[in-house]
Structure 1
Amino acid sequence: MAAGQQQLSVASFFFFFFSGVLTFPLGPENKSGHVCGYESCHVTKHNMLNVHLVPHTHDDVGWLKTVDQYYYGDRNDIQHAGVQYILDSVVDQLLKNPDRRFIYVETAFFFRWWKQQSSGVQQTVTQLVNQGRLEFVNGGWCMSDEATTHYSAVIDQMTLGLRFLNETFGSCGRPRVAWHIDPFGHAREHASMFAQMGYDGFFFGRLDYQDRVRRMLAKEQELLWRASDSLTPPAADLFTGILPNGYNPPEGFCWDQSCDDPPIRDDPDLEDYNVDEVVRRFLDTANDQATVYKTNHIIMTMGSDFQYENANLWYKNLDKLIHHVNARQGNGSKVHLLYSTPSCYLQELHRANLTWALKTDDFFPYADSAHDFWTGFFTSRPALKRYERVSNSNLQTCNQLEVLGGPASRKGPYGEGESQTMKEAMAVAQHHDAVSGTEKQHVANDYARRLATGWQHCQVVVSNTLAALSRSSAERIYCDNLNISVCPLTASSKQFSVSVYNPLARPVTWPVRLPVNGESYSVSDAKGKAVDCQVVPVSRATREVRKNRGHAVNELVFQVQAPPLGYTTYSVSLLQNGPPPAPPGPALQQPSRTSICCVRVLQFLRVTFDPDTGLLSSLSNLETNQSIKLTQNFYWYNASDGNNSESNQMSGAYIFRPNSSTPFIISRMAKTETVQTSVVQEVRQWFSPWASQVVRLYTDSRALELEWTVGPVPIDDSLGKEVITRLDTSIKTSGLFYTDSNGREVLQRRKDFRPTWNLKQSEPIAGNYYPINSRAFIKDDVDQLTVVTDRSQGGGSIQNGSLEIMLHRRLLYDDVRGVGEPLNETSNIFPQGLVVRGRLLLSLERPPAAADTHRPLAQEVVLQPMLTFTDGALSPDTRLEFSGLQAALPPAVHLLTLTQWDSDSVLLRLEHQFQIWESEVNSRPVTVNLQKLFSTLEVVGVSELNLSANQWKDEMKRYDWTPQTDKKPPLLKTFEDPSTWEVTLRPMEIRTFLLRVHLR
């Protein structure tokens, strides 16, 4: 933000309208008279090697200890770390020398510390920020993982952190540099988002060891990352730098209390005087580092995990190092040391006015040596990964209803509610040791607890809004365990209603399965029309996994149609009671030619099974007249225990390393039972006591559902297991397959290949695994099979025509990457080992049109409808249906964000969800009128922001960089917005607006 802007608060709102534009300040005015950012950088010397020393700490928002334990310095028997003391100590030391600099990253910790400080300390810290002595980099609530996070949750957590910095410190608090020094591989979509958030550059520490060697030799450790094939350059271009030592100091120069390196002893009268030896070693280190970088500027990260708790140790030695090294310039040395920050270093690289190598792929998978591929965490803790994804959907619903309900959403018949707790819990869950699954078990439990607490707060918001919109104060019940057929209300009530809220901006048809004990029910929609419904028995697998948490013997199945950004209500009445609870289930059938042949839905899909094995054998799309051979089964890789002649590396929370390239099959045959009704057709498959599946087709569905249940994974044989499902098809893939990047753009993958270096493959399975955040597909010229996942998982195409996805991991050894315990999850409910259930959705389409199906399908899984229940009959004046939109948005447009920003304003993000090459129909610009968008909100002012909502879009200025290539960016047709209210979205474009609104 430019100087002169005021803090955004209710008291400081000033609205000016010209042609319908809403303008008001985003941050406090910087009246200190000092400079920050690039203007605060120390002077460098053009004829010398400038060494930028960057004092920093890396503070995990949970890992070996919980967030609270890290902040307070609790449980130091696990790890000595106390973030509050780090910030206390750094501020004290910065005041002692105006040359000193420090960068801080994790806003979740800083926010907590800031609230506890006196006004005097806050004023002092503000002065340090305004002088550029304390600089924020990255600035999100946490440093998010890049493999297992969904882009919508990443944008939210970045917005949360950056908004706090903006409102607290104004323009001097805005980070100029993205800083991901610890995530385990780097996603292209993250680079694209950072560019759209206004960052000038991006620095990280981890990349594949082979890639690093090649880049060092070619001096390409600093590059220009073109992170989108749809957005017109330089919209998604991001300068990217690879740090020389990960994020640690050079060897021998660590002066934290946790380090063993000797301090600088600079009294010449003492026998242990070591200045000459330290200076010599440092000059050698600096000159060696300079040989693999392109300019006369290099960067050194002077800090590491939870360092600077006693900042005096670091700064006293750094002061001496700078003094003594620079003193050598009088004797002809050409090395100049200075306190610096990543943005100051970046500024010097920009001033060099060089060309930079261009990169268009990503940095997955990451290996730190030949047999150490960090691809296991793509799947680690699959239950937590699913809970995080469900929580994201719940948060978006909470945010939307808080807007649509107005003040009534926060104060109503259900009490006071708020969404902030859920926002912070979800933001913490994006941390690179949270949703990634690479934390200790008690920390994983804490992440889940925070999400559960946040959802409890949001339930009040949801209930209040639905009460206001429906004009009914009847108690609303939430059933969060429907996936295992648990809902006490539906299992016991003879009459109840279910409200279905759809957070998508288009109508959705969705299957509902409710646990019941009756044999026959009637269901009617909001217009009183009867809905086809069927009662099916609860499967044996479901009864076993839910244990004693529910006793419904049946499930009531019907399909609902929910309006865009709105709810609809279905009334359910018991017609006939069933037998007593919990009878024995139907016996499993051995496969036979008479027991199973096919499941068929004439409108769209046909699925056939092998009558001898009970396994899938083909999939057909009846609309497009396609048919492929398709077999699917479950396997497990034997996880390495380290006893191997090639390497002692073990599989663990981070590392995936199977002992063999050939997985063990769980069973070559599946016991089966079939369910065929007018609503749903199922084949229930049983592969072993710990692996089962339901192959399911709903009427009118264009996707085949595979509901898998895996666990407890047996370890009686003392073997750790990596459980996969593999789809083998007749599609001719030629070694290619495709995965999404954080749920957005699709990237092509090729077996045993990296686009930017000649790969020497040493792990044929783990080295070909990639993150699958929401979907992956294989295709040839005729057929495309897309698999939509319900959480982040790892997978690959090891054989032509196949796609395998890792579902569950149970390991017996730690992989020696710091977490210090094996990934062997148990719980009170599952003391013998965790049971995980999930869904894969399969669609078969012609390649040119496949995205028109799988993109909306993936969005439905990410933002699934929310069900709430009320007991008894509805009152006659209840409003049974509502939509927050005047009309559904076009298929290419996704309403990404709708959340309350302040008392009279809301934050809106609209997204074009197709890449420029994906669809003949939907890869075109689309125009939306903001004033005609909402049914209950009158939009009276609008201003456009950058992606992270901490800068006005027209004020966002970024460094320009020149790629080292003759390749010209694509020439894309530009479109001007017809008016202030009509906004045009081009392929893959996200536009962010601050709207001033009134409830109609």
Structure 2
Amino acid sequence: MAAGKQQLPVALLFILGGVWSFPLVQDTKPSCHITKPNMLNVHLVPHTHDDVGWLKTVDQYYYGDRNDIQHAGVQYILDSVVDQLLKNPDRRFIYVETAFFYRWWKQQSSSMQQTVKRLVNEGRLEFVNGGWCMSDEATTHYSAVIDQMTLGLRFLNDTFGACGRPRVAWHIDPFGHAREHASMFAQMGYDGFFFGRLDYQDRDHRMIEKEQELLWRASDSLTPPMADLFTGILPNGYNPPEGFCWDQLCHDPPIRDDPDLEDYNVDDVVNRFLVIAMVYKTNHIIMTMGSDFQYENANLWYKNLDKLIHYVNAQQANGSKVNVLYSTPSCYLQELHRANLTWSLKRDDFFPYADDAHDFWTGYFTSRPALKRYERISNSNLQTCNQLEVLAGPVSRQGPFGVGDSDTMKEAMAVAQHHDAVSGTEKQHVANDYARRLANGWQHCQVFQASHCLYHGYSGTIMSSRFLVIVYNPLARPVTWPVRLPVNGTAYAVSDVKGKPVDCQVVPVSKATQEVRRNRGFAINELVFQVQAPPLGYTTYSVSLIQDGPPPASTQRRTPTGIQNKFLRVTFDPDTGLLSSLSNLETKQSIKLTQNFYWYNASDGNNTESNQPSGAYIFRPNSSTPFIISKTTSVVQEVRQWFAPWVSQVVRLYADSKALELEWTVGPLPIDDNLGKEVITRLDTSIKTDRFFYTDSNGREVLQRKKDFRPTWNLKQSEPIAGNYYPINSRAFIKDDVDQLTVVTDRSQGGGSIQNGSLEIMLHRRLLYDDVRGVGEPLNETSDIFPEGLIVRGRLLLSLEHPAAAADLHRPMAEQEVLQPLLAFVDGDLMTHCTFSGLQAALPPAVHLLTLTQWDKDSVLLRLEHQFQSRESKLNSQPVTVNLQKLFSTLVVLGVSELNLSANQWKDKMTRFDWTPQKGTGPLQTGYPSEWEVTLRPMEIRTFLLKVQNVQLK
């Protein structure tokens, strides 16, 4: 169990006859070994780092298959560790990835399960982090991270109670660290956070200043210490000290302690260990004793660690001031807390990460862009799946595809958050496996439908001359959304649920689309119309074929002067065909705006400065000047631009839209010149940025960035492009006192502002060399359908606003891009029109319904979040109150209790260590109006367990 904690009798919550329970914890006799106050206490932490897919698939890693790729078998690690822990009660071990432990646990006998529970209760086996995986921090969306953490922590809570609840977040391998992750960990109740990878310049600075342990203030909006998190940087990454690795995968000599035999080396081992440098503030230091997939033969490790502890501590009789002990991160953190020191305060994040002067890990912000997009829309699909399961009740779980199952999708999405999954840093066959898992999850979620209205008569086709389009909106406010359907007809009539005609038009399928789909579709046109869907509900649109004649007349090829609607006007340069300006007609704003496509030639590592090539992790262009892609232009009722045989774009401006859409298609990237390419789009404007720009953190709070600058240390910039790239998860913007240009992305991408007034975003990467970070193959994606290279399509949404009002537009835009409407199709002759909303009324603009999912038979998990930062919006950066009993239309809320963010503790029972920063903090605000009315303050997420009764709608 966690340091200083033991399980107490279950706390019961009685709500209208229902009994809910969570185990509680309190400080009691510690399970940690005793330390010595006048010595350097070295906390040895035996651990294994088990990637949930990387060089091998999740299944291959668990079973120990394909050892020709990498020798690793997680089931044998857990078998071996448990056996060795039982042989010596002093030994400790920590485990992280619940995805693997869950598999192993299900295969154990009841007697073994009881044995493991005893080890957990005694604190000899400790869970840290506890999510389904150790998620990536740059390319993940906060909603998916919360889900995967909840999945793993719930299993630990249900299985082991309080003793299985992790008290420490542990991200020893991710490649840079996001502020929003620290904020989430704090709100999940963690006492501290440890990681291994840190920019080499930052580490050097912190070692000198003894600031490798700090207090991270991870929100500008939440009142301290709500998002404050003690953070420690591990001294050896996550590996053992050099010369002290005793795994079967290591080559260091064992401790040979028989003086009668040759090669007796105890004195040498002890002497080498006693020279540990003191670069931390206390008389405690943590040592990670383990690494990737180690402890498959745990006897090797523990036999040598037992000897190390014995012989080093024996030197205390000779005056040594070093005390070595088995420990865990929780025990180590407890000692730091007892020291009662003040700690340096950090407010920014740990991006970008570099491990050498020319080795910036900023390429993976964009690597595998197709997988990144598939993960993002899969998240939207999962939230819709969860909602329909709750709103429609038991009837939704039976359908034409069998029995409904949201668990398959939850687990697939959780695996996809791993730091070698959505990051794009895995081998190709592993990326294929992640995609396969997501596709399987989609199939299991197809059963869930909003009601009988949507379920009966499902046909899954739009080949009929008359059909209905059912639009489900997973957001808690009405949305207007453009629908584009592949059709062969040339004229259609569309009407809404009340029979009112809806404007529509037919446009020919673009050449780029024809090339992307190859032989997988034969529609010659697209039917385009805009739909309006109610909050957390669906509506229907009727589509009828009017004319099935020849395709529309060929479009006139000319350079357009501009397009506009009632909100925006876009102009194009008559000579180049490029965008030339963007105007907001409401606010009378106008900026110069040029957008083009470029590529950076990827370094092959053959130059005088460094032999580092670009790869899946590393972005290293061989020049600071990108190559421009030449272009020509043609026009239909939207502007279609053709830049090269492998780069095209459609510029769209929908009626009633305040955003300009840029739909880009890139690929296959040519490599005939034997050079890898990293394709960007760059927006050059008249906005005066003075080296500043802004990016989101995991889709939530926005951080200010500055070219060639780090808030924590004096940067010596060695890579002017890669060293100024940051993760963009959902949006980025540039601004001055008058204008703000915001770009909303449809997936995680990398980008930067290399020139003043400019914003560039990387779209696609194809590389010919491995970057020597372990994956062992170049990022050169091909497939049976695209043997010449992957083609990727995406879209960017651009808006121009005054800075004071921009957030009121771009936050809902980003929210809608993450949770998109779901379309279904039925034969119009089989059913009547119907409409439905799961809410009694739309939520206020500042409030986002983040989670609605079935928890057990009679209860659901609800998360509501305030999606604006403090001082971000005059209108929406204010507290908002919501009445939970007046929220849903099909659910009667009978009882409510509040949980922490990860839903594994009651909110009012959650306790965390208090830490003292070097600067003072304000008091934590508490108190809310009532049990049913809940108030959300800027950037606050509140999690509730609701006891509900489902009401069958007539």
Give the TM-score normalised by structure 2: 0.98
Aligned residue among 691, 694, 701 for 2:650: 694
Amino acid at match of 1:296: N
Deviation at 1:919, TM superposition (A): 0.1
For 1:955, the aligned partner's letter is K
Counterpart for residue 228 of structure 2:
237
Q: CA deviation at 1:970?
A: 5.8
Q: Structure 2 vs 1, CA of residues 5 and 532 (structure 1 numbering), >3 Å: closer, same or farther?
A: farther
Matched, 1:631 2:594: yes
Query: Could you list the per-position Cα deviations for residues 421-457 of structure 1 after superposition, in whole angstroms to 9, with x for gaps in the alignment?
Result: 0000000000000000000000000000000000100
**Match of 1:644, as an amino acid?**
N
In the aligned structure 2, how far is the partner of 1:84 from the partner of 1:610?
A: 62
SS in 2 for 1:535: strand
> Which aligned pairs between 1:409-420 and structure 2 lie closer than 5 A?
409-412=396-399, 414-420=401-407
Query: Which residue of structure 2 aligns with residue 616 of structure 1?
Result: 579
Question: Is the 1:517–1:579 contact (alpha carbons within 8 Å) kept by the matching residues of 2?
Answer: no
Q: Does 1:100 align with 2:94?
A: no
Superposition map of 1:141-180 within 5 A: 141-180=132-171
Alignment partner of 1:565 is 2:526? no
Distance in 2 (alpha carbons) for counterparts of 1:55 and 1:871: 61
8 Å Cα contact 2:225-2:921 kept in structure 1: no
Matched, 1:431 2:418: yes
| Residue 711 in structure 1 maps to residue 667 in structure 2 | yes
Over 3 Å counting, the alpha-carbon distance change for 1:636 and 1:644 in structure 2 is same
Q: Please say if residues 257 and 264 of structure 2, whose CA atoms lie closer than 8 Å, have aligned partners that are also in contact.
A: yes
Cα distance between partner residues in 2 of 1:415 and 1:541: 37
Q: CA deviation at 1:271?
A: 1.6
Q: 1:542 aligns with which of 513, 517, 520?
A: 513
- Show structure 2 runs of 5+ residues with no match: none
Aligned position for 2:20? 24
Aligned pairs for 1:510-525 (under 5 A) are 510-525=481-496
Map of 1:373-772 to 2, 5 A cutoff? 373-412=360-399, 414-461=401-448, 465-468=449-452, 470=453, 473-477=456-460, 489-490=461-462, 492-579=463-550, 586=554, 589=557, 591=558, 595-601=559-565, 603-667=566-630, 670-676=631-637, 682-772=638-728
Does residue 928 in structure 1 map to residue 896 in structure 2? no
Q: Which runs of 5+ in 1 are unaligned?
A: 8-13, 478-488, 677-681
Structure 1 range deviating more: 174-183 or 406-415: 406-415
SS at match of 1:698: coil
Match of 1:3 in 2: 7
Mapping for residues 943-962 of structure 1, pairs under 5 Å: 943-962=897-916
Q: Distance in 1 between matches of 2:19 and 2:851?
A: 20
Deviation digits for residues 105-131 of structure 1 (CA, Å, limit 9, x no counterpart): 000000000000000110000000000
Cα distance in 2 for residues equivalent to 1:626 and 1:980: 46
CA contact (8 A) 1:21 1:942 kept: no
Question: Deviation at 1:975?
Answer: 7.0
- Whether 1:138 aligns to 2:129 is yes
Q: How does 1:879-890 map to 2 (within 5 A)?
A: 880-890=834-844
Q: One-letter code of the match for 1:930? A: L
1:671 Cα deviation (Å)? Answer: 2.0
For residues 491-533 of structure 1, what are the alpha-carbon distances to aligned partners after superposition, in whole Å with 9 as ceiling and x for unaligned?
x320111100000000000000001111111111111111111
How far apart are the structure 2 equivalents of 1:871 and 1:538?
24
- The residue number in structure 2 matching 1:483 is none
* In the alignment, structure 1 residue 993 sits paired with structure 2 residue 947: no
Using the alignment, how far apart are the partners of 1:839 and 1:718 within structure 2? 29
* Distance in 2, Cα, partners of 1:971 & 1:321: 46
Alignment partner, residue 812 of structure 2: 856
| Shift in CA distance, 963/15, structure 1 to aligned 2, threshold 3 Å | closer
Shift of 1:872: 3.7
Q: Map 1:76-91 onto structure 2 (within 5 A).
A: 76-91=67-82
Indicate how the Cα distance of structure 1 residues 828 and 139 shifts in structure 2: closer, same or farther if over 3 A, else same: same
* TM-aligned CA distance change 1:331 to 1:47, over 3 Å: same
Letter in 2 for 1:613: T
- Are the aligned partners of 1:497 and 1:874 in contact in 2 as well (CA < 8 Å)? no
The one-letter code sitting in structure 2 at the alignment partner of 1:306 is: F
Query: Is the 8 Å Cα contact of residues 36 and 131 (structure 1) preserved in structure 2?
Result: no
Is the CA contact 2:354–2:360 (under 8 Å) kept in the aligned structure 1?
yes
**Equivalent residue pairs, number:** 947
Q: Distance in 2 between matches of 1:578 and 1:203?
A: 65
User: Residue 490 of structure 2 contacts residue 548 of structure 2 at CA under 8 Å; is this kept in 1?
Assistant: yes
Residue 917 of structure 1: how far off its partner (Å): 1.5
The corresponding residue for 1:679 is none
C-alpha deviation, 1:466, in angstroms: 2.9
Which string of whole-angstrom CA distances, capped at 9 and with x for unpartnered residues, describes residues 376-421 of structure 1?
A: 0000000000000000000000000000011112134542111000
Are the equivalent residues in 2 in contact too, given 1:476–1:870 (CA < 8 A)?
Answer: yes
Name the structure 2 match of 1:181: 172
TM-score, normalised by the number of residues in structure 1: 0.93
Q: 1:799-844: CA deviations, max 9, x gaps?
A: 0000000000000000000000000000111000000000000000
The 8 Å contact of residues 695 and 706 in structure 1, kept in 2 or not, is answered as yes
Q: 1:773 to 1:466 in 2, by over 3 A?
A: same
Q: Distance in 2 between matches of 1:563 and 1:22?
A: 33
- Alpha-carbon distance change, 373 to 177 in structure 1, aligned in 2, over 3 angstroms: same
| Among 74, 88, 108, the residue aligned to 1:117 | 108
Say if 2:556 and 2:635, in contact at 8 Å, map to a contact too. Answer: no
Identity fraction in percent: 82
Looking at structure 2, the residues matched to 207 and 184 of structure 1 have their Cα atoms a distance apart, in angstroms, of 8
Check if 1:365 corresponds to 2:322.
no
Q: Which amino acid aligns with 1:597?
A: T
RMSD: 1.6
Q: In 2, distance between residues paired with 1:970 and 1:232?
A: 7
**CA distances 1:174-199 after superposition (whole Å, capped 9, x unpaired):** 00000000000000000000000000
Aligned residue among 932, 937, 940 for 2:894? 940
Conserved 8 A contact 2:13-2:21: no
Which region of structure 1 is more displaced relative to structure 2, 87-96 or 269-278? Answer: 269-278
**Distance 1:172-1:607 versus aligned 2 partners, 3 A rule:** same
Q: Relative to 1, partners in 2 of residues 1:5 and 1:971: Cα closer, same or farther, differing over 3 Å?
A: closer
Deviation at 1:36, TM superposition (A): 10
AA of the residue aligned to 1:811: L
* Counterpart-to-counterpart distance in 2, 1:704 and 1:813: 37
SS of the residue corresponding to residue 587 of structure 2 reads: coil
Q: Distance in 1 between matches of 2:921 and 2:576?
A: 53
Match for 1:346 among 333, 348, 368? 333
Helix, strand or coil for the counterpart of 1:98? coil
Equivalents in 2 of 1:392, 1:172: separation in Å? 31
1:356 matches 2:343 = yes
- After TM superposition, give the deviation of residue 26 of structure 1 in Å: 2.4
- 1:152 Cα deviation after fit: 0.1
Contact 2:733 2:741 in 1 (8 A): yes
In structure 1, the partner of 2:870 is 916
CA contact (8 A) 1:224 1:961 kept: yes
Tell me how far 1:672 sits from its aligned partner.
Answer: 1.9
CA distance in 1, matches of 2:507, 2:612: 48
Confirm whether residue 984 of structure 1 aligns to residue 935 of structure 2: yes
Q: Secondary structure at the match of 2:7?
A: coil
The answer for the alignment partner of 1:482 in structure 2 is none
Alignment of structure 1 residues 50-89 onto 2, 5 Å: 50-89=41-80
Assess if the C-alpha contact under 8 Å between 1:396 and 1:897 holds in 2: yes
